[in-house]
Structure formats: C-alpha cells, structure tokens
Structure 1
Amino acid sequence: MSLLLLCVVSTILSGDVYDIDTKDPLQAHVLIVETDQIHLCNPQGTFAIPDLPLHTYGLIISHIGYKDETLTVVIQQPDTIKIQVGLSSTPIDVEQVETKAERIVAPGKRTFTKEEMEVIPGAEKDVFRAIQMIPGVSAASDYLGLFYVRGGELYENKVLFDHVEILSPYHYFGIGSAFNVDLIEDFEFHIGTVPVRYGDAVSSVLLVNSRQADTRQNGVVSIDPIEANFFCSKPLTKNLSVALSAKRNYLDVLLRELGIVEGVLLPYFFDLQAKVSIGTKYGNFSLNGLHSKEGTDIQASFAEETVELQMNGVSNTFWLDYDINASEQLSLQTYVFYSNMDRYLHGEVPTGTGSSETATEEYDVQKYGTYLHMEYSPGFVTLTIGGGIGRYELMHTGPRIEDIFYKIGSINYSLEGDTSDYYSFLYATQRFSILDLLNCEVGERIDWLPAIKDPVFSPRIKLVHKKRPNLFFAYGHHYQTPPLEYQVQEYEPLKAKSLNIGVEHLIIPGLLGKIEYYKKEYENLIRGYPTDLFFNDGTGTASGIEFSLRKYRVGRLYGMISYAYSLSKRTSPYDSTVVTSDVHRPHILNAFLGNRLPAGFEVGIKLQVSSGLAYRPVIGREGHDQWMPIYSPTKERLPYYQRIDVHVEKEFSLWGMQGELYVTLLNITNHKNIQGYLYNGDYTLRKAIYQLPRMPLVGIRIKF
C-alpha cells in the first residue's frame, strides 16, 4: 500500500506505529529510502527523525509478521508533524527481512539489541561479554566479564540501567552480570567523546535500557551450565503492568565437580529485579528495584601452600522514573534513586617462612539523589537541558582484594577511606544543522564532584557530515571522581581530553563500515600502588585507529569484523616514569558471523585474537621473615591470546509453548591462553594460570 503525504513539515518527523486491528504499539523499523537511514521505534511504537532538510522522502515502515507500509513525505518548510501508521498482520515468512540497527552516524556510540546479544558465541547472554566484540574493548580473563576500554582502568567505566548508576553491576571479579538479558531491550555503549548527559567517567559509559510495559503476558525460563534464569511480564490493567526476573549461577559447583579448574575465582550470585510500569494521561511512571547477593569460600593450593579467600556482598538499587510528553516538542524525564553496596572480603596467604598473613577488606558505599532531563525541539534546533543533586558516602578499610589474592607486594597496609559529600551537575546541549551539510552538537557540563573542592567544566562538540560517506569529528573534556579509598593529601578529579575523527559509510542497507582515529590525554591519575602512600598526579595517553565492518540482522547472514591498533601509556604506580598500561592490548582482532537457516536453526562462529597483557616478571626477592618480590624494571607481554567459539540453536514448539535449544562450544581449538603467573610464598616457584579450556555448554529456553 502506498500513501502520499503533502505536509508543511519541519526538520523533525515523528510518528506512532501500531497494529491496525488491536491498536497495540509496534516497535517497527522506519527506513528513509533516500538516505538509507533506519530508525527503530521505541517500545511505545514512537519514532522521531530530527534534522531532515527540505526534500521529498520515501518511508518504508516494517515489522516482522506485518505488511510493509510505504509513504511519501514532502517537506516544504520548517515545522513539526506527527503521523499515525497502522500495520496489518500477515503470516510470518521465513524469508522475511528483519532489520535492527542503530542510528547511522553517532560518533563513539555502539548499540546492540537483546536479540544480538543472545546469539554472539561465548557472550552467554551477558551484556559485559557482548561488548567485548566492540573495537578497543578487552577483558583480562575468560572467566571474567570485567571490561577495559582503550587501555583505561576498570573504575573509569560507568554502568547505567535506565539512566541510573548501578554501583555493583557485575559480581565479584566480573564472573557475571547483575542484569537478566530477558529484561533488557538493548544497550548503548559510549566511548570517546561521550554526550554531556553522562559524566563522572573518563573511559566509557554503558547504558542498559530495560523492556517497556508489555501488553500481553509473557515469560521465559532458561537454564544452562552457567546459570538459571526466570522472567515474567504481566499487564494487570490497561495502564499497569509488572515484570519480574531472577537468576542464579552455579558454574563454580559444576567446574569443581568436573575437575576442570581448581581454585579459580568463581563465586555464586543471585539477582532479583522487578519493574512496575504505570501509564497515565500525563506520562509514564516506572518503579524499579535490583537486588544482588554473592559469596564464596575458596582454597587454592600451590607448592604445598594454600591461599584462602572468603567473599560476601549485597547490593541494592531502587529508582523511580517519570517520563512526561508535555507536547510534540517538549519531553521531560525525572529520576529519584537510592543505591548501596556492602562487601566483606577476607584473605590468607603464605609468607614463605611457614606462617601465613591475613587481611580483611570491608567496603560500604551509598549513593542517592534525583535529576531532571528535558528535551525541546521547536523545529530548527533541539535543546537538551538537565541537572541533578545527590549524596555519596563511602567507607573502606583494609587492602585491596587484588593484593590479597595475587600477592602483589605486601598486604600489611590498609586503605582507610571515609568520605561523605554532596554532588551536583548541570548540562546543556544544542543540536542543529549548518548549511544542510553538517549536523552539529555543542554541549557543556558542570560537575561538583564529591571530595573535589572546585567545580569542573566539560565542553564537548560533535560534527557529522550529512552526505555519505559520513565524516565525523568529536572533541571533549571528561572528569571523574578518583577512587576515594586511596588516601591523598587533596583529591583532584581524573581528567581526560578526547579527540575522535573518522568516517562511517552505509555500503548497502544493513552493512555499515567505520574507520576511527582517537587520542586521549589523561591527567590526575592515581599512582602509588601498592603502598599506603598515593598520589593524584599521574598522567597518561591513549591513541589508536579502529576498523569495523558490521552486517546487521538483515536477511539470513549477519556479523561483525573489527581490528584495533592502539598505544596506551600511564604513569608507573611505583615512580614517575611512563609505562605501558597493564590492561592494554596493542592489537585486537574480533570477527563474528551468524546465519539463520531454515527449519528454525541459527548458527554462529566467533574469533578473537589479541596481544597478551603486559606484566612485570619477578626477577628476585628480598627480606627475611617475609619475602618481597623484586620486579623487572621493564614489562613483558604474555603470549598472544586466541579463541574460537561456536554457537548453534534450534527453535521448537512444546505443548503450545515456543522454545530454543542451544549448544555453545567455547575455545573449540583448546588453545592454552595464559592469564598470568602465580608465585609461591618465597617467590622461588611460579606456575602459569590458564584461561578457559575447551568447554561445551548446553542450554534451553522456554517462552510462555
């Protein structure tokens, strides 16, 4: 069906897409034929396309299981319109195209949907493992979902769920995510020059978006050797719905019973998350809660000596958000939240003299506050304004747990952090077009960070060429509160100046190529580890070039291939020299290919090859009653890391319910990747700690 709309339209075109029979909203795809841009409606079926120049456009509205709708829109002069599009259902054809894509040009932003996360081999439906396919992102271990971005530290990343910070998003040492994938709609990963809406992070911001209210009851039960998951969503009334998810892992028990690994940090965890959605004529309320609990008791033996570790922790996050669509031009979002995290860790390590040394770390953090986000689009420009205020409280005693287990230096010191302070921030962004050639975004952010005396100002700018291929430029300043468990005379905010230049080209619909050069300069980094004397004056640099080619889930074949070359150096924790960052990998190659086959089969294969991590080998020892290592003045690298994973899944029907049976084979070549080295108490012996061996995983998902 084809319609012609002759409208007095602005540079903003918005609309609602719905089922023409039931009137239920549809999360459809809107394709602009002339520009090949694909826009995804939100779960309420709404889309908005800003900054359209005067022109005639063809739109194709599509959704799997529905007939496509074709519209012609004529833009004659600046204004704003909103269209209504109803789609008629049709039987699903296995040949039908399903498209899911992010906005074509968004410098530094990567987006993955829930469906894409589920089919990446080795990701195991974990958001933190899925983002390791993104150029410039790496992990220190197969066992851990902890991620490092372009040579940055772990604490330089911020994780948000529905725009609310999660203090403990991954369980101890990153063995698993706190988020149930069935409650996730998609995630946005911002690196480089981050939008001014997000602050207090100098490496990256990960935004996880939850599913919106469902109009029909549905649920998922899944189980595999790593964890068991439950999710259920049910509308109670027309304007009230609830969603509940729970998961529990048991990989620690499985691996020990099979004798595959011994003494590896694999704590158990349990997560419970709930969401209540309330729709009103003034807007949509959402009440949310996330509760996580974890713990373990580990004994690892080496050379007749034993390392013991006990861990227990609880974290909670509760928040209320209220979305208000005041008009077609004005939208408001308000948030009120409370988060806390408590953890207790106790370690015992041998000293090499027949005795042992113990240490205990206690960590208690609370953060609460409120903030407002407003977006106004009068037609020729889009204005974004926001701000918030809250309080941050931290209490920390004991050494860092990494010292306890990996025995990096003495553990006879304590980081006595005790901070309680208010924080606040303001930001504003203006987006507009220049001569129908450039999309320009200019923003400024002001932060009053906890424990920092003076406010910090973060200007940021992005320029995108509107014609293909799309050239882009981005530059900005980013600030972050330093880890307050480190004691320094006067805290200074971590600072990063970020530059990004690149080109992005939609080769054909659904196939996106990208080349990006980046450079970052760091100031006020923490150094002084592992003693009780720390300094807040470290510096660093990170630069590199990244290539990626991504085939979205359009048709049967989809996937991604990327290569990143980078250099990253930081002030040594031991002195003032500049050395290679420990978590930096100069070369990272990722490749993933998936294929949707007939009869409900879907297969995927993933390849990862990267440089080994940098480390300082022990070249001697000193001391008497307690031995201390003497490290090499220069760093070496572990051998190259390489791993191939394969994933196969099959859809099926059982007693009127739909389901999926899947098999994943991790490290199919059984390559022995070295994670690091463990020394005995007197540093006379060491052994290699290997990462995951070849390992099959079988799982099942039942949808109801």
Structure 2
Amino acid sequence: MIPAPTKRCAGGWGAACALLLLLAPGLARAQAPARPLPATSAPDSLQLTGSVTDQLTHEQLLGALVYLAGQPTHAVATDLQGRFALRVPAAALPDTLVIEYLGYRPQRRVLRTAAAVALALEPQPTHVLATVEVKASRPITEDFIVRQLNYLQIVTNPAAAADPLLAVRTLPSATNLDESASVSLRGSAPGQTGVYLNGVPVYEPTKFAQLNGLGTFGIFNAELVKTLDVFPSNPPLEFGNAGAGLIHVETDARRAARSTQVSVGMANSGLLLNRPTGRRSMTKVYANAQYAPVLRLLNPGAFQRLQAFGLADAGAHFATPLGSTGTLKVFVYGLREQYRYQSGYLPTNGGNRYQYQNLRGLATASLEKFWDRADVGFYQGLSLRRIHDQLEGQPALYHTRRRGQDYFWSGHVRYYWRSNFSTRAGLSYDHRQLGITGQLPAYPDADGLGPVGQPRRLHQQRSLPEAYQYTKYVARHWVFGFGTRANALPGVFAGGYLAWQANVRLTVPGQLYNLSGGDYVTSTLPDPLLPFLRTRIRQVAFDYSFQWPRLTVDGASYYKRELSLTRVRVWGTEAAAQYQATKQLLLNLAFSSVRSPLARFDPADAAAWRYAYTQPRYDLRFSLKSSVSLAGKWGQVSLSGQYRAGAPFTRISGGQPVPGTPDFQPLYPAQPNASYLPNYFRLDVSASRSFAAPSGRGATIVYVVLNNVTNQRNISRYVYSADYSQRQGETLLHRMFYLGLVRNWH
C-alpha cells in the first residue's frame, strides 16, 4: 500500500512517496506472519487434534491455549484457522482437555481417545472476567466501541497486508483519498484521528512519512496486538486531542511459549524473538531491514521515479503482572529510513531528485492496577525524530532539517459507585514541539519548479494540560455515558475550552444501536508553516448492527461541523455486510458516501488562505469496498477491491511571471478543491500456505501478492511545468508482484 500524495507534499515529492511505498505490504506481511503452532513430542505418543471457534460468531479463534489437565506444562496454541495439534504420551488418556482464551469462558472436555474434537467457546462479559489484564486496561467507554479488530482479523484481512492501521483503512468508516496508513475517519483529515498505544498518543504513527505526516504503513507490529478498538465518530474523552475518531491499539501481555521467527521477502527481512522472562513476564523483540534491488527488478513499471530506498527498524515489548491485580507494559521502538526519487514535471526538465532521511525513537509505558471497586492507571510516552530532506536538482529551492519531540503523561482513577455505575477521572499533559530550518516552497502546490524557496527558521510548540471525567451507567440492555474534558490551566497554557460528549447504547440479542454526540477541541499541526491550529468539531452519529449466525450487517449515519481557520460541514452514511458462506468462504461488501460542501474562509486572511488551499476536501459521492477469502487445508486465497469517486483537487489555471525573476507564480481559482480527479479503482489478490515442520516444532508460511491486478492508473494529483502551462498526472500504486516466506521455530 502507498501514501497518496496530496497538494501539501511540497516540492512535487508526493508522487514519489506514492511510488516508493509500494513495498509496504511485503514489509508488513514479513513483520506479522501467522503465529506458529507449538507441539510436544514423546515416544509412543498420540496427537490430539481439533478446532476452536466463537460460539456466537463461529469465528476461528487464534491463540487459544489447549492442554491436558494432567499435563498443564505441555500446552499449544491454535493457529489462524483455530486448529490445534497437541502431542501427548499414549498413556496420558483418559484425561480432561482444557481450552482457555482471554475473554471467553474456559471449556473442559473429557477425552478417552485421540479422536478430533470441535469446541465452541462462549464469550464472557468483561465486567465478570477474572483476568486482571482485561479489566484494568479496557477503556471505560468500551461499550461504545463501534468496531474491534483482533490479531486474527488483522493478519487475515486481504487488503491490510497484516498492518493494523491498514486494516482500519479497509473499514467503511475510513474515507481515505489516498493509499496511506494515515487513516481518515468519516470525512475528516488524518490529523483529527487520534492513534493511541496502551493509553499513550502516537503522533505520525507511520513509516516513510511525508512532510504532512502521511505515511505508507504503521509502525505497529501486528504480532504485538491483542485488540484494536475503533471509534469512527465521537472519540472517548478519556483520550485527549482526538476530534474526528480514535484508534486504540492494546498490546498482548499474555505469556507465550519461547519462539523464534525469521522472515525473508523481496523487499524485507526480519527477525522476531518471543521469550518468557522470569516466572511471569514476557518479552518480544523484533527487527526488520528493507532493501530494493529484487523488488525493483521484478517491478520496473512501479519504480520508474524511485531511485533508491531502504529502512531498518527494531522494537521491544515487555509485559509483567504486578501482584495479582496489576499489569506493566513497556514498548520501545527505533526507526531509520531513507529514499530518493525523481519528482516534478518530467517532460520539460527531467524533474528534481528528492532525498529524504528520517531517524525516530519512541518509548511508552503503562501501569494499571485494580481492586474490587476501583482501578488506577498511569501512562507515559516520549517520541524523538530528526528529518533531513532536499531537492538535489535545485538545492536553493527546497531543503529542511526538522527536529521534533513529543512528551505525554496521564493518570486516572476509576471508582465503581455500584457494579453498574462508575466514574473515571484523570489528568494529562501533552507537549509537542517542532523546529524547522531551511528553504520551503513559496506557494502551495508549487512543486519546487517555479517560485524560489523562502528561507525559514520556525519553532512550533504547544502544551495541553487537561482534566477529564467520564461517567457510565448500565441498566440491563441500556448503557448511558457522559464525559467532559477541559484545559486544566487556561491562564498558563493556551486559552480555556471545554469539550463534552454523550453516548446511549441499546443492545438486544442480535442487535445493537449506538447514538453519540459531542463537542470536541483539538490542537494539530496540519501545515509546518502555520502555528498549531485549534479546531472545534461538533458531531452526532448513529451506528447500528444486526447479527445472524452467518451474516452481520453494520451501518451508520453522521453529521459534523469543523471550525478553525475554515468552516467545514460533513455528512455521510455507510453500510457493510459480512457473510460466512461456508467454513472456507468469507464475503465482505461495504458502501459509503460522504459529502462536504466547499469550505468557507476569509480570503483576506493569509493563514486561512494557505490552510484552505493545502487541506483536502472529503467529498466522495460513493465508495465500494469488497473482499473474498477462501481458506482450506491447502492454504488461503483472497481477493479485495475498491471503487470510489474521484477526490476533489484544486485546478491551477496557469502561471503569472514574478517581476524581476525568471519564476512564475501559480494562478489559483477563487475556491479550492472545486474540481474532481477521475474515479479510483484497485484490485488485489493474495495467496498463502503454511507447511508444518517435519519435527512438528514450527512451521513455514509462504505468501504471494499481486497488487493492482488491472494496473489501473489512479491519479493522485497533478504536477505542473515551470510556467504552469502544462500539467501531468501522478499516479498511485502500479501493478506490483512480490512474495516471501516466514519460518517459525519453537
């Protein structure tokens, strides 16, 4: 998957960002292959086999723990299809087979022979779970989650390339105008979507990020993910600085067996180590390196502009229980990436070589503990980044050095007034700063070919000390919630503000209805040349879901107003259906429509004018997303596609000479984003198969992917000649083929 360049990709480097990041799916798959199936072996042994599913949805459960009561240390985990193979001594039977899975009631079955068994686990309500890690870490607003994805749903999604953020982008509520992992939710810019990891905000959570923060795929390794909660509207106010929606990634703290995983692909190789630590803790460490020659050789058409690219990243996740009622999670991550490509209007001047380098470090820590009537949580995060980029063809035109730093701290306490009535209250401090030195394009969409760059030395920063509370009441089928969030020190940091939200949810067998609304305040940096921008978003949304044994239907309608330097209105509707035709065949179909009239702004205000002309307009008359997955003992084949209306863009009518220079200034229309690109279509196909190791201790997974099967030329934007008399369309992903394998040892 690749990021769609936007008008804000200064110097014409958006298209190359698009071409460059064709390699993302290969890397993502290499990072997050299917979890292997450990097994034990002994002389004169028997192999117990079977499958584990969800009793209500019939979904295959990955990672369920299976063991004999008489041999609890010899346990295995179910694979992607929910299957298990447990080898035990022949003399072990009869015995009781035990199946455990987080969030489900344990099941026990007496076995007298080695016959295959099929087991369906019953979901267990969260408020009665005995598992410490669940109750302590779940948000108080979990009842209002519109969509929750687990590890299995991420890695088996044919359009997600095993990337958590790309998996969100396949949902009908994702309204991206590009192919990036920077998720737009229900007609708002990606900067208004809060992304949190274990309660800590992660800004710009993508790799190969552009100046505007758009990136190809997320920094989160799917192997670490337990659940991914999606609030496409009215994000819970226990999480700050999210106006349009929220994505909360919760890592898996469960102790797992020792394992080693090596991945080799056309664009990436990686190593993942899973090690039990001490008596109760666990540690996962991973590293990846990316290279280009083979991928470029087999896909020359997809890399016409891209000259070089490479990436190396590594991360570590540590989790440990704190007594019997607490959990500590620590995550550290480092990234080094670079690329070089030809940008600009190639027919007239051969373009300019754009070069990008990025160093980034991230660390988060979360501590949670609970008692019978209360729980507490503390969260801390630190992110550092250094970026250097330039146009090599015209060094005086564009080059920057950027240093960024984000720091976050939060603490909360939740008190249960009664078993069905609770309040969570807390304080948070969120600080961001960015320093920029260098030369930047003089005009939006100038593509680095006309106006001379302007020398700049900028320092942008903002601090958000906030206090918040959320109160929830449960009455049988009904759930009511109300939250507020405000600047805790309005006289010291920024001005005073108050955000609020209200939620009502009705759940009856097979049906769910959720009505939510609120008034939100965010502080974002959509353009590095502008100060941090405060935006107020007022919105209301109605979500519903109907569920039958094989069919699930979801839908929503929403309306919002965004007030900042511009005034924007957005409304839309969406519907999706998932049908489990057979045990092997799964069908998905989604439709959405989001409408947004032209933005209103004061053209005499220079900052408002620049903001209006650099921001996308989310006006998509229609969008269709579909996927088909067929799985069996032979492996899995998936087909996914999207067809949507063309995105709005600003048409430049020509150029005006700049007196005393050979340069031209673009002539903009009176209203930005009033024209539309051609419609978008893309079709992908993938196949994978797992081969068990002869020793029974591990497996090899082989995958093959063909992106953009029809080689559709989807235009992402237009670039212009030096005098703006001619334009050329830059396209998103071309057809690309890649393959790889993953080997697991236990």
TM-score by length of 1: 0.79
Tell me the secondary structure at the aligned position of residue 493 of structure 1: strand
1:522, distance to aligned residue in structure 2 (A): 0.7
1:638, distance to aligned residue in structure 2 (A): 1.3
1:601 counterpart (619, 623, 635): 635
Tell me the secondary structure at the aligned position of residue 566 of structure 2: strand
The structure-2 alpha-carbon separation of the partners of 1:414 and 1:447, relative to structure 1 and needing over 3 Å to count, comes to: farther
Tell me the secondary structure at the aligned position of residue 152 of structure 2: helix
The structure-2 alpha-carbon separation of the partners of 1:119 and 1:135, relative to structure 1 and needing over 3 Å to count, comes to: same
Q: How does 1:565-604 map to 2 (within 5 A)?
A: 565-569=593-597, 570-571=599-600, 581-597=616-632, 599-604=633-638
1:646 equivalenced with 2:646 (yes/no): no
1:645, distance to aligned residue in structure 2 (A): 1.1
Contact 1:108 1:194 in 2 (8 A): no
Quote the Cα distance in structure 2 between the aligned partners of 1:449 and 1:263: 50
1:430 counterpart (454, 462, 471): 471
Q: How does 1:12-91 map to 2 (within 5 A)?
A: 65=84, 85=106, 87=108
Quote the Cα distance in structure 1 between the aligned partners of 2:550 and 2:642: 23
Quote the Cα distance in structure 2 between the aligned partners of 1:559 and 1:233: 34
Quote the Cα distance in structure 2 between the aligned partners of 1:409 and 1:494: 33
2:250 counterpart (206, 209, 213): 209
Q: 1:220 corresponds to which residue? A: 261
1:115, distance to aligned residue in structure 2 (A): 1.9
Q: 1:318 corresponds to which residue? A: 363
Q: Map Cα deviations across residues 20-67 of structure 1 (whole Å, 9 max, x no partner).
A: x9xxxxxx9875x7xx8999999999xxxxxxxxxxxxxxxx986499
Contact 2:463 2:493 in 1 (8 A): no
Contact 1:29 1:99 in 2 (8 A): no
Q: Which amino acid aligns with 1:192?
A: S
Q: How does 1:468-479 map to 2 (within 5 A)?
A: 468=509, 469-479=511-521
Contact 1:565 1:586 in 2 (8 A): yes
Q: 2:168 corresponds to which residue? A: 131
The structure-2 alpha-carbon separation of the partners of 1:482 and 1:420, relative to structure 1 and needing over 3 Å to count, comes to: closer
Contact 1:372 1:387 in 2 (8 A): yes
Quote the Cα distance in structure 2 between the aligned partners of 1:553 and 1:406: 49
Quote the Cα distance in structure 1 between the aligned partners of 2:653 and 2:384: 42
Q: Map Cα deviations across residues 574-613 of structure 1 (whole Å, 9 max, x no partner).
A: 667999944543311111121222x241121112001112
Quote the Cα distance in structure 2 between the aligned partners of 1:553 and 1:371: 46
Q: How does 1:500-539 map to 2 (within 5 A)?
A: 500-506=541-547, 508-509=548-549, 511-524=551-564, 537-539=565-567
1:357, distance to aligned residue in structure 2 (A): 4.8
Q: How does 1:128-167 map to 2 (within 5 A)?
A: 128-142=165-179, 144-167=180-203
The structure-2 alpha-carbon separation of the partners of 1:637 and 1:399, relative to structure 1 and needing over 3 Å to count, comes to: farther
Q: 2:384 corresponds to which residue? A: 340
1:267, distance to aligned residue in structure 2 (A): 4.2
Q: How does 1:287-686 map to 2 (within 5 A)?
A: 287-300=330-343, 301-325=346-370, 327-348=371-392, 357-377=396-416, 378-398=418-438, 406-407=447-448, 410=451, 412-413=453-454, 416-420=457-461, 422-434=463-475, 436-447=476-487, 453-468=494-509, 469-483=511-525, 493-506=534-547, 508-509=548-549, 511-524=551-564, 537-551=565-579, 555-569=583-597, 570-571=599-600, 581-597=616-632, 599-623=633-657, 625-633=662-670, 635-656=674-695, 657-686=698-727
After alignment, is 100-109 or 246-255 more displaced? 100-109
Tell me the secondary structure at the aligned position of residue 653 of structure 2: strand
1:276, distance to aligned residue in structure 2 (A): 2.1
The structure-2 alpha-carbon separation of the partners of 1:344 and 1:99, relative to structure 1 and needing over 3 Å to count, comes to: farther
1:186 counterpart (214, 227, 230): 227
Tell me the secondary structure at the aligned position of residue 191 of structure 2: helix
Contact 1:310 1:346 in 2 (8 A): yes
Quote the Cα distance in structure 2 between the aligned partners of 1:247 and 1:29: 33
The structure-2 alpha-carbon separation of the partners of 1:122 and 1:485, relative to structure 1 and needing over 3 Å to count, comes to: closer
1:253, distance to aligned residue in structure 2 (A): 6.7
1:273, distance to aligned residue in structure 2 (A): 0.5
Contact 2:526 2:533 in 1 (8 A): no
Tell me the secondary structure at the aligned position of residue 338 of structure 1: strand
TM-score by length of 2: 0.75
1:295, distance to aligned residue in structure 2 (A): 1.4
Specify every segment of 5 or more residues in structure 2 that has no aligned partner in the other structure, as ranges.
Answer: 1-39, 41-51, 67-80, 87-95, 127-140
Aligned length: 627
1:376, distance to aligned residue in structure 2 (A): 3.4
Q: Which amino acid aligns with 1:566?
A: V
Tell me the secondary structure at the aligned position of residue 454 of structure 2: coil
1:690, distance to aligned residue in structure 2 (A): 2.4
Q: Map Cα deviations across residues 459-481 of structure 1 (whole Å, 9 max, x no partner).
A: 11111123353332100121111
Q: 2:295 corresponds to which residue? A: 254
Tell me the secondary structure at the aligned position of residue 155 of structure 2: helix
1:94, distance to aligned residue in structure 2 (A): 9.3
| Cα root mean square deviation, aligned | 4.0
Contact 1:183 1:231 in 2 (8 A): no
Structure (1/2) with the larger helix percentage:
2
1:290, distance to aligned residue in structure 2 (A): 0.9
Tell me the secondary structure at the aligned position of residue 172 of structure 2: coil
1:636, distance to aligned residue in structure 2 (A): 1.9
The structure-2 alpha-carbon separation of the partners of 1:604 and 1:184, relative to structure 1 and needing over 3 Å to count, comes to: same
Q: Map Cα deviations across residues 335-381 of structure 1 (whole Å, 9 max, x no partner).
A: 2222212212212566xxxxx75222222221223212333343131
Contact 1:679 1:685 in 2 (8 A): yes
1:146, distance to aligned residue in structure 2 (A): 3.0
1:700, distance to aligned residue in structure 2 (A): 1.3
If asked which structure has higher relative contact order (CA below 8 Å, sep 6+), I would say 2
Quote the Cα distance in structure 2 between the aligned partners of 1:407 and 1:108: 44
Q: Map Cα deviations across residues 511-530 of structure 1 (whole Å, 9 max, x no partner).
A: 32122110111111xxxxxx
Contact 1:164 1:337 in 2 (8 A): yes
The percent of aligned pairs where both chains have the same amino acid is: 15
1:487, distance to aligned residue in structure 2 (A): 6.3
1:110 counterpart (120, 123, 147): 147
Quote the Cα distance in structure 2 between the aligned partners of 1:291 and 1:638: 37
Quote the Cα distance in structure 2 between the aligned partners of 1:627 and 1:348: 20
1:239 equivalenced with 2:280 (yes/no): yes
Contact 1:100 1:553 in 2 (8 A): no
Quote the Cα distance in structure 2 between the aligned partners of 1:44 and 1:368: 38
Quote the Cα distance in structure 1 between the aligned partners of 2:105 and 2:342: 63
Contact 2:432 2:461 in 1 (8 A): yes
After alignment, is 102-111 or 382-391 more displaced? 102-111
1:162, distance to aligned residue in structure 2 (A): 1.8
Quote the Cα distance in structure 2 between the aligned partners of 1:336 and 1:614: 39
1:673, distance to aligned residue in structure 2 (A): 1.7
Quote the Cα distance in structure 1 between the aligned partners of 2:449 and 2:499: 36
Contact 1:672 1:691 in 2 (8 A): yes
1:452, distance to aligned residue in structure 2 (A): 5.4
Q: Which amino acid aligns with 1:523?
A: L
The structure-2 alpha-carbon separation of the partners of 1:551 and 1:219, relative to structure 1 and needing over 3 Å to count, comes to: farther
